Amino acid sequence: MHIDENKRFDKRNVAQNIRNGIITQKDYEIFLSKLPDASEKLFNPEESITDLDEIRLKKESEPSSKKKGARKKAKGKGK
């Protein structure tokens, strides 16, 4: 059976891959230990309102997604 190397440790496949002998529990633990720390991305309910406002302002200032432009083009093609 072909296993995509990028999906060997995908959380949806890990249990099955361990059962089928594709990876070992130790391989999985090593993989997890090498992942970067993302604790700064966790939501902190004690954040001040000003911090949340800054985040909203950053999101609003980001350019709009390409999907919006694609929808407008798709509507124009049918005319």
pLDDT, one tens digit per residue, over 37-76 is 988 888 777 766 666 677 777 777 776 655 555 555 555 5
75 is a domain residue: no
- Would 18 be classed as within a structural domain? yes
**Is residue 9 in a domain?**
yes
pTM for the full model? 0.48
Of residues 71 and 21, more confidently modeled: 21
Total count of domains within the chain: 1
- Domain span at residue 24 reads 1-34
| Domain presence at residue 78 | no
Say what the pLDDT of residue 35 is. Answer: 92
Domain for residue 62, yes or no? no
Q: What does the DSSP 8-state code read for residue 47?
A: S
3-state class (DSSP) for residue 15: helix
Q: Does residue 59 sit within a domain?
A: no
Cβ burial of 74 (10 Å; 0-12, 13-18, 19+) is: exposed
**Cβ neighbours for 7, distance < 8 A, ≥ 6 positions apart:** 13
Question: What H or E segment, with its residue span, contains residue 25?
Answer: helix 25-33
The answer to whether residue 1 is domain-embedded is yes
Residue 20 inside a domain? The answer is yes
In angstroms, the CA 8 to CA 62 distance is 34
